[in-house]
């Protein structure tokens, strides 16, 4: 038999036999549970559901394919192959000189967890406590707080501590009791490699007076700290939703995964159940390529949306659930008016400065990735020993700075924030319930900005890249179906920096890099600022530079089907059920009402774990009633 080419290896489904479906003709006509989206949250939910109810059937419908390729497994910075991601272009961004940007989200079994940079941290306790403040008291009572989520963070992962020699070599610190202890399917490790410059930059941050955290994942995500990568400790390969939640369980007889298909709509039936006028009875699906027929698959129990922040709103909107004016413009009759669907869109804006280092600290990523001999050595070391530079994905240390560590004058900014009216910087026609919710957000953000125990800016350390993520934006965007073509990719508008106070806050974060590179340790690197460079020094120049150079996304879109009371523009209730509809939940990143100051994947796993526990609890209760 001839050896398979890479392309053949990618296309064949080598592990999962009959349970991978590529055509609707291979499906049952109905399932107990249907999950839209086989990504980070969808595969988590499917794993837990199929385990809890062996006699109930679960169908996951995934737009992308099951790709068996080693480039996904090798630690990577981001997106190993553009074909694994949707290529959506944002609308012209009004706060960024009307530039448009690629909206990158995964289109593959495993979703974004298959293409992310594996940085596996958590936000501060205050970030999650703010969710309850924003959403409403009953959300706090239901555990949408740090204390309520911590058990799910722990449950979702297994943390393997670094070896004693790695601890000594890299100064790794961690505290298992404070943050870990679970044995979940997603693996978390400190990689067995750091670039030598990591130590120098980390020291430079401490010379600026930034505190060091021994462990940040116990709710203390501010200061300078290490955090894990989502990576397998034995093979040093990516640990993601597919390797953790699908491959080991794919042969369960109650589990079908349909790939290459998209959920276009939810099948809704009128009901008279208290405040719920409709119940979800299944989904309409369509092949991504070829046959354009729309097929209905019914569900007896629940439909669970896990299509991510960019695509979950479209499924709801096409089903008649969303802002009435948008649905009317798209000729869709409104079944449940929920103005929050597709609103409240948030991401961490990102900015890259560039410094040339005159001191050549070797090895470093700049020279290694461009030098074929060094790359060959690194590849051989990785293949043979699972050590060396190629075990490090996006890096696993950072400085996470509260506003007060970037400026002495927080008072001016906080006074301006307190004076903001919620309607001033949202679009003119924003629904009153969204304004009410946003007022709660502004108040929560004012508290977060005024305290020292949560971060406003992230400065990733490991690779000398002078990158900055703006963690607590005030601006809000939208994700809407295209009214002229509802099945097409959505209209995405980040609206980054449309709230002008964001720009003022961001300036402090950006200028902090200059202070960092003036510290004695950083000076040993011989930094020369290339971008923005000496021509940018006044605030006016910084503002112009930022509008021209900032990107709207650190790949962390959230918020478009947010937890919250209906009168606050919320889309889902404390049990993640969509307001007004029976048997329909959302378990993905879109439910986060406020973006936490962290990379988002570990929070998505925790949210999905908590959400599906609710589905299972309700399923068991129904069972008992039936018996």
Ligand X SMILES: Cc1cc2nc3c(=O)[nH]c(=O)nc-3n(C[C@H](O)[C@H](O)[C@H](O)COP(=O)(O)OP(=O)(O)OC[C@H]3O[C@@H](n4cnc5c(N)ncnc54)[C@H](O)[C@@H]3O)c2cc1C
Q: Which residues are annotated as a binding site?
A: 40-41, 263
In terms of phi and psi (left: phi > 0; alpha: psi -120 to 50; beta: otherwise), the region of 143 is: left
Before 532, cis peptide (omega within 30)? yes
**Nearest residue (CB) to ligand X, 41 versus 343:** 41
Question: Which residues from 92-151 bind ligand X, rule CB under 6 A?
Answer: 104-108, 111-113, 115-120
Q: Coil, strand, or helix at residue 205?
A: helix
- In whole angstroms, what is the distance from residue 584 CA to residue 265 CA? 12
When asked if residue 486 is in the footprint of ligand X (CB under 6 A), the reply is no
Q: Where are the extended beta strands (E) located within 423-503?
A: 457-460, 466-470, 478-480, 491-493
When asked if residue 392 is in the footprint of ligand X (CB under 6 A), the reply is no
DSSP H or E run through 479:
strand 478-480
When asked if residue 397 is in the footprint of ligand X (CB under 6 A), the reply is no
Site string for ligand X, 165-204 (x = CB under 6 A): ----------------------------------------
| Cβ atoms of 570 and 437 closer than 8 Å | yes
**Nearest residue (CB) to ligand X, 245 versus 311:** 311
Q: Specify binding-site residues for FAD.
A: 40-41, 263
| Cβ atoms of 161 and 191 closer than 8 Å | no
**Cα 67 off chain centre by:** 21
| Cβ-Cβ contacts under 8 Å for 9 (sequence gap 6 or more) | 68, 69
When asked if residue 583 is in the footprint of ligand X (CB under 6 A), the reply is no
- In whole angstroms, what is the distance from residue 493 CA to residue 476 CA? 9
- In whole angstroms, what is the distance from residue 355 CA to residue 465 CA? 8
When asked if residue 304 is in the footprint of ligand X (CB under 6 A), the reply is no
| # residues contacting ligand X (CB under 6 A) | 44
* Cβ count within 10 A of residue 592: 28
Binder among 262, 491, 565, 610 for ligand X (CB under 6 A):
262
**Which residue of the chain is nearest ligand X when measured via CB?**
39
DSSP-derived pairing of the beta strands 276-287 and 261-273: antiparallel
Active site residue ranges: 556, 599
Binder among 10, 13, 20, 37 for ligand X (CB under 6 A):
37
Q: State the minimum distance, in angstroms, from the CB of residue 199 to ligand X.
A: 22
**Nearest residue (CB) to ligand X, 313 versus 573:** 313
Stretch binding ligand X (CB under 6 A), from 302-310, 350-358, 382-390, 436-444: 302-310
**Nearest residue (CB) to ligand X, 457 versus 545:** 457
| Cβ atoms of 205 and 224 closer than 8 Å | yes
When asked if residue 307 is in the footprint of ligand X (CB under 6 A), the reply is yes
Q: State the minimum distance, in angstroms, from the CB of residue 562 to ligand X.
A: 13
Q: State the minimum distance, in angstroms, from the CB of residue 144 to ligand X.
A: 17
When asked if residue 320 is in the footprint of ligand X (CB under 6 A), the reply is no
Q: What residue ranges bind ligand X (CB under 6 A)?
A: 36-42, 61-64, 78-79, 104-108, 111-113, 115-120, 262-263, 306-308, 311, 315, 394, 555-556, 588-589, 599-602, 604
């Amino acid at each position: 038999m001839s050896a398979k080419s890479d392309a053949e290896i990618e296309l064949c489904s080598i592990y999962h036999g009959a349970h991978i479906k590529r055509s609707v003709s291979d499906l049952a006509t109905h399932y107990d549970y249907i999950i839209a989206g086989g990504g980070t949250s969808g595969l988590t939910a499917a794993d837990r559901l199929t385990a809890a109810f062996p006699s109930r059937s679960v169908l996951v419908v995934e737009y992308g394919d099951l790709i068996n390729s080693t480039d996904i497994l090798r630690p990577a910075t981001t997106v190993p192959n553009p074909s694994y991601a949707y290529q959506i272009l944002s609308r012209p961004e009004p706060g960024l000189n009307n530039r448009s940007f690629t909206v990158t989200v995964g289109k593959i079994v495993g979703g974004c967890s298959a293409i992310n940079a594996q940085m596996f941290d958590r936000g501060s306790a205050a970030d999650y406590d703010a969710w309850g403040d924003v959403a409403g008291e009953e959300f706090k009572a239901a555990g949408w707080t740090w204390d309520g989520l911590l058990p799910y963070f722990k449950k979702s992962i297994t943390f393997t501590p670094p070896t004693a020699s790695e601890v000594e070599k890299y100064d790794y610190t961690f505290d298992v009791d404070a943050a870990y202890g679970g044995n979940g399917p997603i693996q978390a490790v400190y990689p067995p490699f750091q670039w030598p410059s990591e130590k120098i930059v980390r020291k430079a941050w401490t010379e600026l007076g930034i505190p060091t955290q021994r462990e940040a994942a116990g709710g203390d995500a501010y200061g300078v700290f290490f955090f894990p990568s989502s990576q397998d400790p034995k093979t040093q390969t990516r640990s993601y939703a597919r390797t953790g939640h699908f491959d080991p369980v794919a042969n369960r007889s109650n589990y079908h995964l349909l790939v290459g298909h998209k959920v276009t709509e939810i099948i809704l039936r009128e009901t008279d159940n208290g405040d719920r006028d409709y119940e979800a009875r299944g989904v309409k699906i369509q092949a991504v390529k070829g046959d354009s027929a729309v097929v209905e698959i019914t569900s007896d129990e629940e439909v669970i949306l896990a299509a991510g922040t960019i695509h979950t709103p479209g499924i709801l909107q096409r089903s008649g659930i969303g802002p009435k004016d948008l649905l009317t413009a798209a000729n869709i009759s409104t079944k449940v008016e929920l103005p929050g669907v597709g609103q409240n869109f948030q991401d961490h804006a990102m900015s890259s400065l560039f410094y040339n280092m005159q001191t050549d600290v070797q090895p470093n990523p700049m020279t290694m990735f461009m030098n074929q001999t060094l790359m060959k050595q690194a590849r051989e070391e990785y293949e043979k020993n699972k050590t060396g530079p190629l075990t490090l994905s996006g890096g696993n240390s950072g400085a996470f700075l509260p506003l007060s560590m970037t400026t002495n004058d927080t008072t001016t900014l906080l006074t301006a924030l307190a004076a903001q009216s919620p309607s001033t910087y949202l679009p003119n026609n924003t629904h009153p319930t969204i304004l009410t919710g946003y007022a709660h957000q502004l108040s929560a953000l004012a508290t977060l900005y005024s305290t020292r125990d949560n971060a406003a800016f992230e400065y990733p350390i490991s690779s000398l890249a002078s990158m900055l993520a703006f963690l607590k934006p005030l601006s809000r965007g939208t994700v809407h179906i295209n009214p002229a073509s509802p099945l097409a990719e959505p209209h995405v508008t980040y609206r980054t920096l449309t709230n002008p106070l964001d720009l003022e806050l961001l300036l402090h974060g950006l200028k902090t890099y200059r202070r960092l590179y003036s510290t004695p340790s950083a000076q040993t690197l011989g930094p020369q600022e290339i971008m923005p460079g000496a021509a940018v020094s006044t605030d006016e120049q910084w503002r112009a530079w930022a509008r021209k150079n900032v990107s709207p996304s650190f790949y962390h879109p959230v918020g478009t089907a947010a937890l919250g009371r209906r009168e606050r523009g919320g889309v889902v209730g404390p049990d993640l059920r969509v307001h007004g509809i029976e048997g329909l939940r959302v378990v993905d990143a879109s439910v986060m009402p406020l973006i936490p100051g962290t990379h988002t994947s570990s929070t998505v796993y925790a949210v999905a774990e908590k959400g599906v526990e609710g589905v299972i609890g309700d399923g068991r209760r129904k069972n008992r009633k039936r018996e």
